Structure 1
Amino acid sequence: MALRKFINFNTFNIIRPFCFKSAISLENLYPNKSLKIFTPQQTVEQSTGGFTGHIPIEKLQITYSRSSGPGGQNVNTLNSKVDLRFHVESADWLSSEVRAKLMEMNKTKISKEGFLILRSEKTRSQQLNVADIMQKLRAIIRAAEAEPEPISEESEERARKRKLKAARLRLQEKRNRSFTKSQRQAPVDF
């Protein structure tokens, strides 16, 4: 208590940040860097190299609703579930090949109007669910953009042998089942 009388709190607040720095402070982890935390405005041009990861938010329809499942009163008061609707055909920032492949790969998730519908209620935070759903959309677009790997001759041969073996087993089981059923029937006298 006695020490408190002699400390000028205005000077203490100025000196305090310089008293102790943790080994894992931002200044030590990233020396000579500006530590201002902000989200820069991105102006991404359409590149010929493919999908850059930038998704224009204005081209998406994002709605929020109440999540289901456990969460107590938080579930009843906050709109944390995120529904994303993305019109694939009008996505001029994607190439036509990627759009066609997106439509082919995700036919069950596309509505009659042509909207790709994704939902996220993974967390109880609206912002984290938006981040999760954007990550899902990026993964879907990158999967559609990726070139399929060529199948080697060994893999083709293994697949052919598996199919032949499966067909043989199926026919053998069919014969066994037929024999079992024929043994159950009463003998026929002529």
Structure 2
Amino acid sequence: MIRIFCVLLLASIALPASASSLAERMQPCLACHGEKGQSETPEIPSLGAQPAGYTLIQLYLFREKQRKIEVMNEYAKDLSDDDLRQFSDAIAKLPAPTPEGTIDAARMQRGYALIEKSHCNVCHQSNLGGRDNVPRLAAQREDYLVKALREYKSNTRVAYEPVMLEPLRPLTDADITDLAYTIARMK
């Protein structure tokens, strides 16, 4: 349902041939991923402050249809390598998303223990702010994190390396929801 909405939204705001500024060309991105990169759409990630290297790889995977999400494949299909770099650099400069909702101290404690147990901080940094080709997780949408973590655990999510499978393998679904809860509330 959400994907259909974004496809329709993307079609309704298709870029005019004269849209040349980067800001104009990024409007379809922000329509689904949120103004200033903070998504308000269920299961659609916030893009603000994502490392440029990570975003570049994701856009490439979408363009080449190695990662299949119809609306993203459609939008990225005609982007040049230079477009991918410009979009990635611009996304990295968007403000980081604001952490979600209220805090349940017990769930946060369980989540922090899972972050340590799963060694999330090794690749994503201690603040889960990401770096280079590794995504920012802190303050990402909780529902999106649950979806993505489940996809990585089941090995149904295409990534450029299957590094997420091993740390997620021992986690239960309750662990995944606690982990997502905590990460969504980190700054």
TM-score range, shorter chain: under 0.3
More strand by share: 1
TM normalised by structure 2 equals 0.25
> Which of the pair has the greater relative contact order for Cα pairs under 8 Å at 6+ separation?
2
Identify the structure with the greater helix proportion.
Answer: 2
Which protein is bigger by CA-based radius of gyration?
Answer: 1
